[in-house]
């Protein structure tokens, strides 16, 4: 079983509740996605590696730290786009690699439609950004792509998961930590998370 981290932060619980509300409009939904992504990425980066670095202050020298690993954000189109800006507020200099997947509505299987990764990996740590972990098919496919690319450390950062999705991702990739704001009750018969929040892509983009 991979490590599953369900955020216990009260700000996450509060913002997620407003995000779920069917009365929340598109603009507020996007703001909340951005804020939640920032909070979840903050939690997911607690173990990134540091090297010592000395810095000169106006008063002398301080022993400090700098990040060692090249980090990449991997938003899964389309819904993952809403998490990029919040993540970039914490990690403004990192690379962003987009992966395009949609879920076939009959088979619920992910279909890849965008991937422009270069031949060799350019990062050592990837944070997959996708708000919804439903059947887990999209998450497993994204990790498959990143492992084939050659990334040594991969983390999944999402907002709401179904137990089915957590199980599938954990079993397929037990080495990939899952950082999530909440694990809901179940998937319904058409593969939507219940109670969830509906379709995260449609709610962000007003479609």
Can you give the length of the chain in residues? 207
Beta bridge partners of 129: 75, 157
Residue nearest to ligand PRP (CB): 201
Separation of alpha carbons 185 and 194, rounded Å: 6
- Measured CA to CA in angstroms, residue 131 lies from 128, 135, 144, 204 at distances of 10, 13, 18, 11
- Name the one range near ligand PRP by CB under 6 A: 9-17, 39-47, 89-97, 199-207: 199-207
Answer yes or no whether residue 108 interacts with ligand PRP by CB under 6 A: yes
Answer yes or no whether residue 83 interacts with ligand PRP by CB under 6 A: no
Answer yes or no whether residue 78 interacts with ligand PRP by CB under 6 A: yes
Separation of alpha carbons 19 and 31, rounded Å: 9
**What is the contact mask toward ligand PRP in residues 26 to 65, using x (rule: CB under 6 A)?**
----------------------------------------
C-beta of 169: minimal distance to ligand PRP in Å? 8
Which CB sits closer to ligand PRP, 7 or 135? 135
- Name the one range near ligand PRP by CB under 6 A: 8-16, 17-25, 76-84, 121-129: 76-84
Contact 4, 156 (CB under 8 A): no
From 9, 30, 34, 103, residue interacting with ligand PRP (rule: CB under 6 A): 103
Which residue in 194, 93, 82, 165 sits closest to 129, CA to CA?
82
Contact 204, 131 (CB under 8 A): no
Apex CA 29: angle with CA 37 and CA 166, to 5°? Answer: 50
C-beta of 39: minimal distance to ligand PRP in Å? 19
């Amino acid at each position: 079983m991979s490590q599953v981290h369900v955020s216990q932060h009260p700000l996450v619980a509060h913002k997620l509740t407003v995000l779920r509300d069917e009365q929340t409009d598109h603009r507020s939904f996007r703001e909340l996605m951005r804020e939640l992504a920032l909070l979840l990425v903050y939690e997911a980066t607690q173990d990134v590696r540091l090297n010592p670095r000395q810095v000169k202050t106006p008063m002398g020298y301080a022993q400090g730290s700098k990040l060692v690993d090249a980090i990449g954000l991997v938003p899964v189109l389309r819904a993952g786009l809403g998490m990029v800006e919040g993540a970039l507020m914490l990690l403004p200099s990192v690379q962003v690699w987009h992966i395009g997947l949609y879920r076939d509505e009959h088979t619920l299987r992910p279909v890849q439609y965008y991937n422009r990764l270069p031949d060799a990996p350019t990062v050592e740590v990837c944070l997959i950004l996708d708000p919804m972990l439903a059947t887990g098919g999209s998450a497993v496919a994204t990790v498959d792509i990143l492992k084939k690319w050659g990334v040594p450390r991969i983390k999944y950062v999402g907002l709401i998961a179904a137990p089915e999705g957590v199980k599938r991702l954990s079993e397929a990739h037990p080495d990939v930590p899952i950082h999530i704001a909440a694990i809901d009750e179940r998937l319904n018969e058409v593969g939507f998370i219940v109670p969830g929040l509906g379709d995260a892509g449609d709610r962000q983009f007003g479609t």
